[in-house]
Every structure is written in C-alpha cells, then in structure tokens.
Structure 1
Amino acid sequence: MLPPMLGVENLTVRYGAQTALEDATVRFLPGTFSAIIGPNGAGKSTLLKTLVGLTPPSAGKVVFTDGGSVRDDVAYVPQQQTLDWAFPVTVWDVAMMGRTGRVGWLRWPGRADRERVAEALRQTGVLDLRARHIGALSGGQRQRVLLARMLARDARVLLLDEPLTGVDAATQEQLMALLRAQAGGGRAVVMVTHDLEQARRWCDHLVLVNRRIVADGPPAEVYTPRNIEATFSSSHLGHTHAEA
C-alpha cells in the first residue's frame, strides 16, 4: 500500500468559543480522488483550509509523509466567491500565478513555464480565452481558469473547495473527469462538495463530516442511509464507523 501523503491527526479547530471541527483523523492517499461531504457549517472548508495551512489547528496536527511539504506539494482552489474577480488580470496571468512557487517572485517565467501554463489552459478548455479579462468570464469559465492555475503548479496534492458550484451540468462532468484523471496519474485529489451523487460516481474515497468525521472510506462502505442521516442531522456531533 502506498504511504499516506497528506492528512490530519486528532485535529480540533476552534474559532473563539465555537468548535468548527473536533478530533478529526483522516488520510488522503496518492492516486485517490476524495470527496469531503457534509452540511453547511460542518467543518468541511475548515478541514481543507487547515490542510493547506490557512487555518491553524487548536489541537492535533497536519501530517505530510513521503518527504513532502504543504508549501511545495499542495495546490489549493478556494471557493469562487472568496476571490476578487474585478482585479485587472487576464486568464493567462491567473494561470501563470500557479508557476510562482516554481519560478519565484523575482524571476521571469521561462519557456518551460509558458509551455506548462498553455498546457494547463488547454487541459481545462480555456486556452482560447487566455487574453480575456477574468471579470468578463462566466462562472464555469472562471472555475476552469482556477483549475488551470492549480494544474500549472504541478503539485502532488490538489485541494478544491466547492469546484462544482455555479457550473452547468456538462462542465461539471468535464471537470470531474479531469480531476479523476489527475488522481489516476498518481496525485491525491481532495474536493469539498455538496453533490453526493457526483461524489459517489467519481470518487473512490468519501469523508462524511459533521464537525467530526462521521465515516471515512470507499463509497460502497461509507454511502449508507445511517451514515448519511448522521452526517446531515444537525444534532449529530459524534463519530461512527462506516456501516455496511
């Protein structure tokens, strides 16, 4: 079995007196497409932000094995509404931001960087929009550009927060196929989503969250009526194992 690449151990995150996530332990393996699922306020985005280093743990820790580091090996796509889409940059500029960690702030991108960005834009279907201002894009086009920036980074772990929000059904299918292919290439892909059916169809690892990890494992084991009820019940704060 491949070693865990990124995960958390006994993670608790508090915002003041409010506990967003409590005693969570989960691993995300290379070559696996994982979905983090739960109701609003369940701690899904908190888990993702803690993994990427944007939110500090109140207790527990983030673990990265196999000689990796969050700084060098993790690419993160936040929710669209958290970004300033009026900022005066083009599609090409945004995708090139994915190379910053590789190039450095004080160096100009080289030919290899430009070729990698062009390939990322081609993979996500927006190469023809490379000169367009990001404020002129549709919701689906914006999501594709964010994915291109992520792919341009060449990270081993891809973290995405609600990548299907505001995207039409056809584009959702294309994006999920793209992420599935990234996992098939050996990356660990982790996605926060509300879409249970999409997650069950495309992902091979589900993490059900309701301020604790309710269940964690393959869809056939995790996606059960009891686990779903526990996940989406506002009164449930405990941990259960996956039910067959």
Structure 2
Amino acid sequence: MTHLSCDPHCYQPGALHARSLSVRYGGHTALQGASASFRLGEFSAVIGPNGAGKSTLLKALLGLVPLSGGAVDYGGSAEVQPHTAYVPQGQTLDWAFPVTVWDVAMMGRTGRLGWWRRPGPADRARAEQALRQTELWELRGRHIAELSGGQRQRALLARMLVRDAAVLLLDEPLTGVDTTTSQSILALLRAQADAGRAVVMVTHDLEQAAQWCDQLVLVNRQVVAAGTPQQVYTPANIEATFSVSPLGSADGRA
C-alpha cells in the first residue's frame, strides 16, 4: 500500500484541500483521516469499491455532511461552496419535476445571482453556451422526463458549467450512459481541467480514469494512495483499495 505525501505544490492557493477528514453515520465510520488535494488545472478521479466512502468524500468537501474530524479549505479559506459546482448521482434526483432542459441549465446561474436577481442577457448567453457544449441546445425546450439517461446527465453538466465555478465535483457522471456519451463527457471534463479548473470525478472505472485523469485518489474508508496514474496504479494499491475495508464491513454508503 502506497501513501504518497503531497509536495508543496499540493498546497498552492486556489487548490481544494481535504485535511484528515473523518465522517461517521450513526455508529458506522464512512471515512477516516482522509487527506487529498485537488489542484486547479488537474482532472482527478476518486476510485474505490461500493461503500468505500467516495460519495461521502465529495459531500464532505462540499460541507453537505458533518465532519467528525478534519477540515476542508480552498486556498486556505474555509469558504468552499462559492468556488464549487456539484453534479450528484442521477438516481438521487426527481426527474418528474416540471422543468425543461433550459430551466435546468439556468438553475446553475441562480446560484450565482441569488434569488433576488433575475437572469439577464449575459446569463442567458452563458446558459446557451453550456447547452451547446453539452449538445443539448436543440432540446432546450424539452421536459427533462423525456430525456434519455445520457441526455439527463448532460443537462446536469450544463447546469454545472453555467455556474462558472473553479472546482467541479461530479459523483458517478458516467453511470448509466453509453460508451459514446461516456467519451463525450470525459472529453468535456478534460477540457475544463485544461482550461484551469479543478475537476474531481467519482468513478468505478479505474482504467478509464487512468487514461483521462492527472490524479487518481484511491479510497477505501481512507485514502489508500493519491498521485499520478503511474504512481498509484499498482497491484499493491489496487489490492488494498478493493479488498475488505480496513475499517470494517461496508455500511452501504458510497
């Protein structure tokens, strides 16, 4: 098992840092002492088995679950959410909600404007740009319930892009989509990292992540290893990550 220490570059201003994060749900430890840094301009994948704490790590970074230990900061500031955009797992959303593809994209702008300001021409132009990037512009008037699984995922990506955040956090964005859509999503996320954003994706596909990502973070209730694919993708690390959790049996949370 390899634990890679961060060099000073890990703590550059603007990077998102998880520092010894621990999360408990009732009597179950979902995450313990997890540390990782997600740098601007890099595409990172968080990988591990079911129940290993991957989704919990993302939620902890966003402040969506209470911490039992550790801290999160963005460039030294505890104010993290204003700098982030989040795509949750698709199955957690109500796809029967009466909104169109255009409405979903504009929701990302609402977070920037606040409820007291109405979207202006610049906001609508940004939503159009995001829908064109995700190849949904022609479907902008369609109800989200009418979309395929891949189209729904791309609608969530459009909402994320419209937020214009420095850090993009995505929980299983490749689940339930076909190979063509998967490659399209990965290319879009790679482009966002190349444009200077920190992109963090939870995924089960280790080989695909190694092909597209700059950093792999292997999680099994704790960070087993973090670093480049060449550093991390080793038999010992894979065995340590996908073996029985070192903190006990899984409690069903990802």
Cα distance, 1:15–1:66 mapped onto 2, change above 3 Å? closer
1:93-143 deviation per Cα after TM superposition (whole angstroms, max 9, x unaligned): 000000012221122100000000000000011111100000000000000
- Residues 7, 67 of structure 1: alpha-carbon distance in 2 compared, 3 angstrom cutoff: closer
Distance 2:225 2:83 in 1: 27
The number of residue pairs the alignment matches comes to 238
- 1:236–1:4 CA distance, 2 compared to 1 (3 A): farther
Paired residue for 2:252? none
Q: The residue matched to 2:19 in structure 1 has which SS?
A: strand
Which residue is 1:12 aligned to? 22
TM superposition score normalised by structure 1: 0.94
Name the SS for the 2:175 alignment partner.
Answer: coil
2:165 is matched with 155
- CA shift, 1:5, in A, is 1.3
Residue 218, structure 1, aligned to residue 235, structure 2: no
Structure 2: runs of 5 or more not aligned: 1-8, 249-254
What are the ranges of 5 or more consecutive residues in structure 1 without an aligned counterpart?
Answer: 239-244
Question: Counterpart of 1:227?
Answer: 237
- The answer on whether the counterparts of 1:21 and 1:46 sit within 8 Å (CA) in structure 2 is yes
Q: CA offsets per residue over residues 26-57 of structure 1, 9 Å max, x none? A: 11000010000000000000000011111111
Indicate if the aligned counterparts of 1:4 and 1:28 stay in contact, CA closer than 8 A.
no
1:47 is aligned to 2:54: no
1:33-92 alpha-carbon deviations (Å, 9 max, x no partner)? 000000000000000001111111111111211668323110000000000000000000
SS in structure 1 of the partner of residue 168 of structure 2: strand
Q: Residue 99 of structure 1 aligns to a residue in which SS?
A: helix
Q: In structure 1, what is the Cα distance between the partners aligned to 2:78 and 2:40?
A: 12
Could you say what the CA RMSD is over the residues aligned between the two structures, in angstroms?
1.4
User: Which of 186, 199, 207 is the equivalent residue of 1:197?
Assistant: 207
- Rounded to whole Å, the distance in 1 between the matches of 2:221 and 2:146 is 37
**Aligned with 1:56 (options 66, 84, 87):** 66
- Matching of residues 78-93 of structure 1 within 5 Å: 78-93=88-103
CA contact (8 A) 2:13 2:74 kept: no
How far apart, in 1, do the equivalents of 2:71 and 2:40 lie?
Answer: 20
Pair 230,193 (structure 1): closer, same or farther in 2 beyond 3 Å: same
User: Does the 8 Å CA contact 2:84/2:167 hold for their aligned counterparts?
Assistant: yes
